[in-house]
Structure 1
Amino acid sequence: MLQILSKLWRYRVGATGLVLCAQAFGAVAQVEADVVQVGQRWLESTVTQVSPVASPNGMALRMEVAVGALDARLRLSPCAKVEPFVPQGTRLWGRSRVGLRCLDGATRWSVFLPVTVKAFGPAWVAKSNINAGAVLMPDDAMEAEVDWAEDASPVVALPEQWIGQVATRSWVAGQAIRQSMVRAPQVFQAGTQIRVLAQGPGFQVTSDGQAMTAGVVGQPARVRMESGRVMSGVVQDARTIRVDM
């Protein structure tokens, strides 16, 4: 009889322990769920009110946010006041994170919540596959709505920013054109005779020289003057380098 009572007592104590553990786990899970909700509400309010960029026609981008989950190993204590914040050096754009810290609780804690911020707006996308080195023609892309925040490189939203440019790498159909995907074409080679436009406060002088490097519009290049002096300037067009004195 004593053995039976002893077994029943151990069973009762064990069951009580399991109930207490389940209650404690449920309380922790509820705290974490509440914290995630605080982060989501704050994030939605923040990114939908202020867009980091605007589309060329002045329309605000359509913002969407999605929150991930806190680290499963966390065991947060209850907190009466949770303050969201943006960690230093972090931008709410694409894959990012939001900080959450307890300001009023038995234990002060600070955690990070993974988030994804999407920004939908008009951009130009490739109609078909594009090979690296191809010069882009007006019919190579069409306008469509894309997620500007999907990639770190900004989208090329205006046609004059990509027509006539050169693809820096291969693309696939439907891919949005971004700044890292295009470059200005080379307009002259090293050894080409070019015009050098030297200018400074109150003067402008034009002379001839020989390019020492290939020339890309808007990029620096070196030129050897007739005197033998080597100068650096910015390529203006297929025949001109501007040198600021």
Structure 2
Amino acid sequence: MTDATHRRPSRLPTRLLGACLALALLLAHQPARADDALMAGVHAFLYEQAQAHGEDVVIEVRPPSARLPACEAPQPFLTHASQPVLGRVSVGVRCGAEGRQVRYLQAEVGVIGDYPVAAREIAPGTAITADLLETRRGDLSRLPRQAVLDEAEVLGQVARRPLAAGSPLQAHQVQARALVERGQKVTVEAQGPSFRVTREGEALEPGGEGERVRVRFTNRELVTATVIGDARLAVDL
């Protein structure tokens, strides 16, 4: 008969065990706290940018996919400066005093705000006036990417295609009212510090304010000028 000896597992003193657990928890949460600080900075940056569209803003910032060292002196920026801060947004963050390290985070931004829609069906070629629009309120991030958020941007412009009643307006659906028509006699101005010269010509294409149009003069000379008014254009010197 073999004697079996059973030994009880050794235990660390209670104080030492508590200290080890505290240290383990501290180390485990240290990267998370660094990520949290970075995400909080991005959240504040996006909130400031999105407030222009409305006061009710909901932002979700996704944490970095990899564990990285803490980002010192974070400087968030939009990777696409012309893109409105709505829906899915990519944010870059420069880290360090000189901003040499750059990280990228993804976020979802929702804003409850007002936007214009067609009050009734609008036919192509119709000039957009205030009585053709009405205001609705909703989540702006759910609108089409090119949705117009300020009716002032489309007032006076012309519908390029039929617009259904109740539909949000999009930038590509409207265009500037033509101030110059093809074949129209136009005046082309050239102006300097102490002189102003005008010539009469023929527009070879239509154009709205600020658009570039080719003009032919009687001597067959061709120039490209900028539309500045009804049948008026200007050339750069």
TM over 0.5: yes
Offset of residue 145 of structure 1: 3.4
The percent identity for this pair of structures is: 23
SS at match of 2:198: strand
Offset of residue 233 of structure 1: 0.9
Q: Is the 8 A contact 1:86 1:97 kept in 2?
A: no
The amino acid across from 2:49 in the alignment is: S
Offset of residue 191 of structure 1: 1.6
1:168 equivalent to 2:160? Answer: yes
Name 2:89's counterpart in structure 1. Answer: 96
1:66 equivalent to 2:64? Answer: no
Name 2:52's counterpart in structure 1. Answer: 54
Report the TM-score, using the length of structure 1 for normalisation.
0.59
Structure 1 segments unaligned to the other structure (5+ residues): 1-29, 101-109
1:232 equivalent to 2:224? Answer: yes
Deviations 1:110-139 (A, max 9, x none): 997642112344432222344444332322
Cα gap change, 1:115/1:132 in structure 2, threshold over 3 Å: closer, same or farther?
A: farther
Question: 2-side partners of 1:53 and 1:137: how far apart?
Answer: 27
Count of residues paired in the alignment: 204
Q: Is the 8 A contact 2:114 2:149 kept in 1?
A: no
Question: 2-side partners of 1:136 and 1:143: how far apart?
Answer: 14
Structure 2 segments unaligned to the other structure (5+ residues): 1-28, 94-101
SS at match of 2:229: coil
Q: Is the 8 A contact 1:196 1:208 kept in 2?
A: yes
Counterparts of residues 66-145 of structure 1 (less than 5 Å): 66-67=60-61, 89=79, 93-94=85-86, 95-97=88-90, 114-145=106-137
Cα gap change, 1:67/1:125 in structure 2, threshold over 3 Å: closer, same or farther?
A: same
Q: Is the 8 A contact 1:200 1:244 kept in 2?
A: no
1:209 equivalent to 2:207? Answer: no
Question: 2-side partners of 1:129 and 1:44: how far apart?
Answer: 40
Cα gap change, 1:97/1:233 in structure 2, threshold over 3 Å: closer, same or farther?
A: closer
Question: 2-side partners of 1:98 and 1:112: how far apart?
Answer: 6
Offset of residue 213 of structure 1: 1.6
Question: 2-side partners of 1:134 and 1:167: how far apart?
Answer: 6
RMSD over aligned CA atoms reads 4.4
Name 2:148's counterpart in structure 1. Answer: 155
Counterparts of residues 216-227 of structure 1 (less than 5 Å): 216-227=208-219
Cα gap change, 1:174/1:225 in structure 2, threshold over 3 Å: closer, same or farther?
A: same
Question: 2-side partners of 1:33 and 1:99: how far apart?
Answer: 19
